[in-house]
Amino acid sequence: MKRLAMLCAIVLLVASCATDTGSSETTSSSAPPAGPAAVSPEQARTIAKDAYVYGFPLVDNYRVLYSYFVDEQDPEYKGGWNQVHSTARLYTPQDKAVQTPNSDTPYSALGADLRTEPLVLSVPPIEQDRYYSLQFVDGYTSNIAYVGSRTTGNAGGKYLLAGPNWQGQTPEGVNAVIRSDTDLALVLYRTQLLGPSDLPSVEKIQAGYQVQPLSAFLKQPPPAPAPAIDFLPPLTAEQQKTSPQFFETLNFAMRFAPGRPGEQDLLARFATLGIGPDGDFDADELTPELRTAVEAGMADAWTELKTFQKEQLDTGKVRSADLFGSPEQLGDNYLYRMAGAVLGIYGNSADEALYPTTDADAAGDPLTGATKYTYRFAPNGLPPVNAFWSLTMYQLPENQLVANPMQRYLINSTMLPSLVADPDGGYTLYLQHESPGGGKEANWLPAPEGPFRLVLRLYWPKPDALNGTWKAPLPEPVL
């Protein structure tokens, strides 16, 4: 009996020790382990699809930030973080970092690393008839704030941009505090160019866009700097479409954008596949079955996007303007957010700009340079804007500007004096690959040989554009 009692005591002691140590063996007996090995291929496919839709804007944004502010060998490199970098020219087909780039307004860009302290952005006074804007974009590609002609006017001012962990008060001399809920953010400055001879004026304005750390603004000693970031080289835009390493890049990007309140359940589901700010997803360690499932999930995301584009965007049921906005406006509509990033990352919110976009003509057929088209604004039918409008041509599938001998990539409202009006006061534009010849070349927007997309931009749109009273024209094929 004594020996039996002693044996029982030993058994109980071992069980107790196993429980007290919280060993992985005990955990695994009560719940499946986290990570890719814990999910079936069927589950992996659906999780990968949803995580891809959720994560595409974060990954593509990281690709652009890396190109602009990290990789000094990249032809798109602008310069270091927390500095304003200006380009006193319009974008051309050689500018390929972002899709559907605007070629109306010379850009300035600020890559903001807000981990150490906030930044104070200074904007100079700008003449009243010139449009400008500062678009504040977080790591999820949401538009978190605007400074500019529409929102704050042209008198200039100082604006503090703070990260998610700053708890300070608005300093004296600062017009407003703008908060980013991600540690890395982007500020895109657009300054309207009023014509080729106007570049010196734009350069002067751009020189007045200044930024400094809050400590320098307050003339105080700076805080200890945040650790240097060991940036992960991103995938190319093409690789992002099919490579499972997409999720490794997503995990890295989420270290600085770890999810918003209310997303806990969604992120916990992603975590079962090793996806998240603390995830261990490793494409090279996947079993063949899981890799196939993950790749299928990525393909499913693209299929869903293409269906959405065909059935919702192309039919006008959903406007392109609905794809961009604040975190509150987009909410958990991750498909819209992905569509915005794919079709034109960093698009403005509707109040700032509208983007009537079409890949098809009035008959519903795909646009192609093999066909000639007319695009007509009826009398008194020009886009209703407070600032200006433009019609830009992009070749597909790259969504990039179209190289052509005229070096003309758009037609906009500042060009109206040089366009030839119709007898009734309207304007007919000619969209085709070859010159229309004669007196029509002034109204010619050169097309590529193959498929293309048209984007009509309305900056600071008027109510008739916002409420749908005014409708954008569609290209008419010339038979």
Q: pLDDT value at position 94? A: 87
Mean pLDDT, all residues of the chain:
91
pLDDT at 2 over 60: no
**Cα separation, 254 vs 259, whole angstroms:** 7
CA atoms within 13 A on the CB side of 336: 20
C-beta separation of 433 from 127 below 8 A: no
Tokens of residue 207, six digits:
């020189």
Measure Cα distances from 202 to 122, 192, 325, 460, 465 in Å: 16, 8, 27, 19, 28
**Cα separation, 247 vs 44, whole angstroms:** 12
Q: pLDDT value at position 240? A: 98
List, in sequence order, every beta strand (DSSP E) within 209-321. Answer: 210-213
C-beta separation of 246 from 298 below 8 A: yes
Strands 210-213 vs 119-123: parallel, antiparallel or unpaired: antiparallel
C-beta separation of 163 from 180 below 8 A: yes
Q: pLDDT value at position 172? A: 97
Average pLDDT over residues 400-407: 92
Lowest mean pLDDT among 267-281, 316-330, 420-434: 316-330
Q: pLDDT value at position 91? A: 81
Q: pLDDT value at position 320? A: 84
Average pLDDT over residues 202-206: 97
Tokens of residue 376, six digits:
């007509």
pLDDT at 18 over 50: no
The closest alpha carbon to 308, from 293, 323, 297, 330, belongs to 323
pLDDT at 116 over 90: yes
pLDDT digits (tens, 9 = 90+) for 63-102: 999 999 999 999 999 999 999 999 888 788 888 878 788 8
pLDDT at 25 over 60: no
Q: Exposed, middle or buried, 261 (CB in 10 Å: 0-12/13-18/19+)?
A: exposed
Q: pLDDT value at position 35? A: 60
CA atoms within 13 A on the CB side of 263: 18
Average pLDDT over residues 9-33: 34
Q: pLDDT value at position 36? A: 67
DSSP 61-129: HHHHHHHHHT-TTSTT----TTSEEE--S---TT--SSSS---SS-EEEEEEE-SS--EEEEE----TT
pLDDT digits (tens, 9 = 90+) for 301-314: 999 999 999 999 88
pLDDT at 131 over 50: yes
C-beta separation of 191 from 132 below 8 A: yes
